[in-house]
Amino acid sequence: MTNYLANKKVLIGICGGIAAYKVLDLIRRLREQNAEVRTILTTNAEQFVTPLSVHALSGEPVRSDPMQHIELARWADIFLVAPATANFIAKAAHGLADDLLSSTYLATDAPVLIAPAMNQQMWEHLGTQENIKNLQEHSSKIIGPAIGSQACGEYGPGRMIEPNQILDYLNQQFMPRVLEGKRILITAGPTLEAIDPVRFISNHSTGKMGYALAQAAIQLGAKVTLISGPTNITPPRQAKNISLTTAEEMLNAVLENITNQDVFISCAAVTDYRPKTPSKHKIKKSMAETNILLEPTTDILATVAKLPNKPFLIGFAAETEQLVTNATTKMQNKGLDIIVANSVANGQGFAQDYNEATLIRKNHNRIKIAKQSKLSLAFEIFHEISHIFCETPQNFLKDRLANEFAKST
């Protein structure tokens, strides 16, 4: 990803948590990107990392004077708090300012990124979740946490995301808004089709890719409508969000919102079949044999492709074999402009934070995108869109993308 952090002023607040040592690596990476870095350590943070080590990596002394909060708040181009403890999150959410870090948070008008790190039970506590919601309403961006093993020996959400991921988030904040004013409609997640009042037909989609696309599009200036099946992901506040369950409901929502859209991205894993006559009562397991007659659902992407004045169309192809061949056939049959092909063999793709893909255009040009976060993959996809819609396209990702599209066959 192109470096947009050069000469940017990054202020980092470090709270007391075992993940504080990872911030040392982040500071090193930021300096390699030629960013200016200043830091604030809470008293508890100094039990995990020393001011001397932070000073050595950042090239700046750690700030500690409570009277510096205005100076630091005005200096920063962006303000990161990592790791952000439950205590800091609670103070920030309620406007408390009893130390340099919390005072600077209240005083800054720079974009704020908060990377939580805490025990999984603390993260899931209703009080913490209410505090997170308050911070988001105050325009702070919450990045993470990740799910995994924790220092306390437990497992679950609450791990601070890795330094390279934080670096990507910081870099993305300074990307040019190349999609300013463009209208993009995105479908995401699975759809569910009832067998009876208890059971349903669905798939393994979690919606992570579709939500990443929505987040990236918003950050690049687009006006986003996100139509989603059932997921556990909080939808972006800046989007028009429509939640639903079935394929028919998704079809209707798409057709009701497709007018005047510049781009339609069909990322949802729409159920291909549904029971023709769902049972009104629970089907008993004691039945020796049960036959369920299925009928196909309407192909949403193909339907949109047949509309007059159709938008630019991007589809996804999740395949287990002959990835490029099957994806290309799907693109041609449905009249798409771009298809994003990704393998779901051997557990890849679904429910993962990372993915790899091949982008194929209708002229058969294609590019292989290496494994990376789904958010980074979303930015790569929008890189291609920006070159189509911008009068003076800006290469906001690696130059290799444009070059490889040009030379590929």
How many whole angstroms separate alpha carbon 86 and alpha carbon 182? 38
What's residue 375's pLDDT?
87
What's residue 227's pLDDT?
98
Distance (Å) of CA 2 to CA 5, 79, 188, 394: 9, 20, 27, 11
Note the pLDDT tens digit of each residue in 128-147: 999 999 999 888 999 989 88
Q: What is the mean pLDDT of residues 7-13?
A: 97
Active site residues: 152
Q: Which residues sit opposite 265 in a β-bridge?
A: 186, 314
Three-state DSSP state, 282: coil
Residues 6+ apart with CB under 8 A from 87: 15
Amino acid at residue number 146? A
Mean pLDDT of the chain: 89
**Cis preceding linkage at 116, omega within 30:** no
> For 236, which DSSP code?
P
What's residue 143's pLDDT?
93
What's residue 346's pLDDT?
66
What's residue 87's pLDDT?
97
Identify the residue with better confidence: 273 or 290. 273
Kind and range of the H or E run holding 320: none
Note the pLDDT tens digit of each residue in 42-54: 999 999 999 999 9
What's residue 117's pLDDT?
97
Residue 259 has pLDDT above 60, yes or no: yes
Is 183-278+289-407 CATH 3.40.50.10300? Answer: yes
Phi, psi of 248 (to 5 degrees): -65, -40
Distance (Å) of CA 211 to CA 5, 61, 207, 379: 25, 39, 6, 12
Q: Which range (189-198, 212-221, 387-396) has the least confidence?
A: 387-396
Residue 390 has pLDDT above 60, yes or no: no
Q: What is the mean pLDDT of residues 247-273?
A: 96
Does the fold of domain 183-278+289-407 match that of domain 9-172? yes
Domain ranges of the chain: 9-172, 183-278+289-407
The percent of residues in the chain predicted with pLDDT above 70, rounded, is 93
Note the pLDDT tens digit of each residue in 74-111: 999 999 999 999 999 999 999 999 999 999 999 999 99
Amino acid at residue number 281? H
Q: Which range (31-35, 187-191, 319-323, 397-401) has the least confidence?
A: 397-401
User: What CATH fold (topology level) applies to the domain 9-172?
Assistant: Rossmann fold (3.40.50)
How many whole angstroms separate alpha carbon 112 and alpha carbon 138? 10
